[in-house]
Amino acid sequence: MSLLASVAKHLDLRRTPFATVGGVALAIRGVARSTFDVDLLTLDVSVLADAYWALVTRDGAQIEIRRGDADDPLRGLVRLLSRDERPVDVFVGRGSWLEGVVKRAEPFSLLDTRVPVVRASDLILLKLHAGGTQDLWDVKQLLDGDRDGEVAHEVESRLGEVPRGAAIAWKRLREA
C-alpha cells in the first residue's frame, strides 16, 4: 500500500474529512503542473498530534508536524514521508468557509487509492485566498479550461463565503 493510500485510509478510519488540493488537484482538473508531493486539506486539528498518526508511523512513515501561529492562514501542517514514495502533506485549514470546500470534493482514483478532490471552483477560491503569483497563474489556467463558464459561475456564487481578500482578487482578475 502506498503512503497516500495509507494516509487516506487512516483519515477515513478516524472519520477525518479531507480533500486533495494543490498541484495534484490542478492536474486532475486539467492543468499540468510539475509536483511530486500530494497535498491534502482538512479542518480537523486532531491531526496535529503525534498520537493521531501512530498507526501510519508504525508502518515506517516519518512524520513532521508544524503548527501555525495566530496570524498563519493554516492551523498547521503534517508532512508524511516514506522511502521511495511521494510525500503527503496534510494541511489544517483555518476558516469555516473551508468546510464547504472539503464537503463538495469529488471522489477520484489517484495512484492506488480513491481520494476526494476539490472541485475546480473551490480550487480557484483556495488559490485566490493564497494569493501568490503562481496561484494566480493557476487560476487563469483553470479558467482557460472553463469553456461554458460553469466554473466561473460557481466561483461567483461562493464569493460571499470566502475571506474578503479572495473575493477582491477574483474581482480584479475578472476586470483585467
111 and 126 fall within a common domain: no
8 and 80 fall within a common domain: yes
10 and 95 fall within a common domain: yes
Q: What are residue 114's phi and psi, to 5 degrees?
A: -100, 125
Helix (H) / strand (E) element for 22: namely helix 22-28
Sheet architecture: strand order including 106-110: 62-67, 74-81, 88-93, 38-42, 19-21, 113-117, 106-110
114 and 124 fall within a common domain: no
Show the domain range for 19.
1-118
106 and 126 fall within a common domain: no
* Strand residues in the chain grouped as ranges (E): 19-21, 38-42, 62-67, 74-81, 88-93, 106-110, 113-117
151 and 99 fall within a common domain: no
CB 175 within 8 A of CB 117: no
pLDDT values of the chain reduced to their tens digit, one per residue, 176 residues: 899 999 999 999 999 999 999 999 999 999 987 788 999 999 999 999 999 999 888 878 899 999 999 888 899 999 999 988 889 999 999 999 999 999 999 999 987 899 999 999 999 999 999 999 999 999 999 999 999 999 999 999 999 999 999 999 999 999 98
Domain boundary among 86, 118, 150: 118
32 and 52 fall within a common domain: yes
Going by the DSSP 8-state scheme, the letter that residue 45 receives in this structure is G
CATH number of the domain that residue 37 is part of: 3.30.460
104 and 23 fall within a common domain: yes
Question: pTM of this prediction?
Answer: 0.94
- CA 101 to the chain's CA centroid: 9
